[in-house]
Structure 1
């Protein structure tokens, strides 16, 4: 907020030199900023943490589950991310408001909604994923995915893809089943079979380059599922939203798991 006030003060000073007529937009911006009321409830009642805030410039929400709070080192990572995301949103929204006033177009408040969920909590690892919804003043917002695996033994956070020896080989190992499942989901959304005509959004996509990888469990003991979270535009038009492909861990996939993580994986049905 200090950055915004400084920018507005400078803008008002410069505008005053140019005449009262041009001062109105910046004065309105300053008034709106001065009267903004931030509400930042921090709900942490044993069911995880949920921090939200709403001002005239932006709306922010960040939530993570109790399992994260149970691990102090992991909670510190999430709290740092929460802080950084909110600071970034506040800065971007403030700059956008100033730019809107200078160029005489309507300012639309920014928003960011982040919700982390547990994918699997097995003895050696905690697997988590999140879906971000972000809006920065355009025609519509955008959904983005993220994922993290916490190694409970060495107390280290890593991306799920880091558990595999080769991204390219993993893509090759799952491609056939991935493409078949993706086309099945496309057909359900579109109400008709996918045409193999080489057109945009009908071809299969690279499973790794176009997806966020997650690892899951059906037995609570090992990772026997691998998931692919696909954001809008990667597999279909925006109106179709996101896609999610889940496959059992095959022998070929398990063979690509890094040796230091392989004991945590078993083949699935």
Structure 2
């Protein structure tokens, strides 16, 4: 949780991560399910309906798969390990144009360990609809070209720190398509920074955890924003 709070603070989130969170929770003999989102979501009925529907779908799938695994384990004479799924949406920032959210999830299906993952969500207040964060840019190629050099340099520095300078165990710099893209703001007026999250295995081993890099919005990044959204962005520092 501390790493999450640091990453969101760098992106400009105001207030504690755990403030005013709505929680959906179910626990049975087969599985445990928890889904959370911040109070900012409840102020937007369409967004709340979308996340509630997502929670319902994931819970049903978890219940179905866990029940199936329990039956198979019993038939094979193996012990059953209950499933668990947890997802928490957090407020990254809110500007006059956008509401930016990030999520951390953890899915355990009876193996050696569960699988953590990150995701992002952008709500366009002007259009009243949910967007994929990369969809506000001209193309993934344009955004990657604008961020690649700075991102890879910062990622490598963190990889070297965690691996104590041992280059042999370091993964290559991952492409943008393998990363979670967050949009943040220092002042709440415009998007002026972006966060790039590499989940476990993407930039390092499972034990290394996720790698999170925050970049200021540069002129090159601004040029990669679609004209329809450019007024909602500003240069960062």
| TM-score, L = length of structure 2 | 0.89
- Max radius of gyration: which structure? 1
The Cα of 1:145 is off from its aligned counterpart by 1.0
Matched residues in 1 for 2:201 and 2:132: separation? 23
1:78 maps to which of 36, 48, 51: 51
Count matched residues: 219
Corresponding residue for residue 12 of structure 1: none
1:93 maps to which of 55, 63, 66: 66
Residues 126 and 152 of structure 1 are in contact (CA less than 8 Å); yes or no, is this contact kept in structure 2?
yes
Higher relative contact order (CA 8 A, sep 6+): 2
* Structure 1 position 205 matched with structure 2 position 177: no
The Cα of 1:170 is off from its aligned counterpart by 1.2
Residues 61 and 113 of structure 1 are in contact (CA less than 8 Å); yes or no, is this contact kept in structure 2?
yes
Kindly provide the CA deviation profile for residues 177-221 of structure 1, in whole angstroms up to 9, marking residues without a partner as x: 10111112212222x2252xxx56342221x12211110001110
* Structure 1 position 193 matched with structure 2 position 162: no
Corresponding residue for residue 6 of structure 2: none
Matched residues in 1 for 2:215 and 2:97: separation? 21
Residues 183 and 194 of structure 1 are in contact (CA less than 8 Å); yes or no, is this contact kept in structure 2?
no
Query: Considering only aligned residues, what root-mean-square deviation do their CA atoms show, in Å?
Result: 1.3
Corresponding residue for residue 133 of structure 2: 160
| TM-score, L = length of structure 1 | 0.79
Corresponding residue for residue 138 of structure 1: 111
Residues 192 and 234 of structure 2 are in contact (CA less than 8 Å); yes or no, is this contact kept in structure 1?
yes
Kindly provide the CA deviation profile for residues 138-178 of structure 1, in whole angstroms up to 9, marking residues without a partner as x: 11111111111001111100110111111022112111110
Corresponding residue for residue 256 of structure 1: 224
